[in-house]
Amino acid sequence: MKNQSHKKTVLITGGSSGIGRATAKLFAARGDTVYELSRHGAGDDGVTHIDADVTRPETLAAAVERVTEERGRIDLLVCCAGMGVSGAVEFIPEADMRRQFEVNLYGTVNTVKAVLPVMRQAGAGRIVCVSSVAAVYAIPFQAYYSASKAAINAFTDALRTEIKPFGVSVCAVMPGDIATGFTDAREKTMAGEDVYQHAASAVAKMEKDERGGMPPEAVAKLIGKLADKKRVAPLYTVGLSYKALVFLKRLFPAAFASKIVGDMYR
């Protein structure tokens, strides 16, 4: 990013809870001007809330227009808005499947498309998309969530080449288990448990791991560092143990890595 010394104008989706809120508070504490976009929220000290829904591009356009009128620029966009569904692929309702992608993938795309013209015209800017280690290790009974996060990784990797000539950079961060309200908000499909009898226990194991996971501030801290780096790599993993797992995935045969995940959630 250019002109690193000035206080930044930061726009964060999903900033009313979890990783988004922790990130908003971190940048506000640094003295940056922070706007959080969400459907429900009031804003913390130093954080301005704007009502917006990432699945409704018109609300994002209005939010970006307000920010640029007030600040004249957007230096950093952090796409945190997301949700999760779990259950057997065969039985998750189509509407839930589609909403998973509407929020996680297309919500990210919609936000990037709303902000990118502002950054492109300024010749500077950074975009950070929140993905997941589940994009690398696809989790059984969370297939659509894993697929939506893998799509974010691919989207980010392609986008970085497209926007590089304009002085705008993009990367994705991949948290592992994080202790937030995301776990309790997950939409669980219980249908088909008579067929997939270990589905409930697999989801329960996953949610136990999440509740014992890292605090969202760990992800926010990394995003804070990425905002100040001169250059960024395509992907960053949060947490030493998860970094090791992602590295080892490059060495494992695909079938072996799949077996490890399967045994974890059996």
In degrees, rounded to 5, the angle at the alpha carbon of residue 28 between the alpha carbons of residues 66 and 186 is: 80
Active site annotation includes 149:
yes
Measure Cα distances from 237 to 84, 233, 263 in Å: 19, 11, 23
Q: Which is nearest to 241 in space by CA: 144, 183, 174?
A: 174
Beta strands 47-51; 76-79: pairing state:
unpaired
Q: How far apart are CA 194 and CA 231, in angstroms?
A: 51
Q: How far apart are CA 229 and CA 79, in angstroms?
A: 18
> Residue written as tokens 């990432």?
54
Measure Cα distances from 180 to 21, 209, 217 in Å: 10, 12, 10
Q: How far apart are CA 221 and CA 188, in angstroms?
A: 30
Q: Which residues pair with 47 in a beta bridge?
A: 34
Active site annotation includes 145:
yes
Q: How far apart are CA 94 and CA 91, in angstroms?
A: 9
Q: How far apart are CA 196 and CA 134, in angstroms?
A: 21
Coil, helix or strand for 194? coil
| Residue tagged active-site, from 17, 38, 131, 146 | 131
| Residue tagged active-site, from 149, 169, 236, 242 | 149
Active site annotation includes 131:
yes
Sheet holding 33-38, edge to edge: 47-51, 33-38, 9-13, 76-79, 125-130, 168-174, 235-237
Active site annotation includes 242:
no
Report, as residue numbers or ranges, the catalytic residues: 16, 131, 145, 149
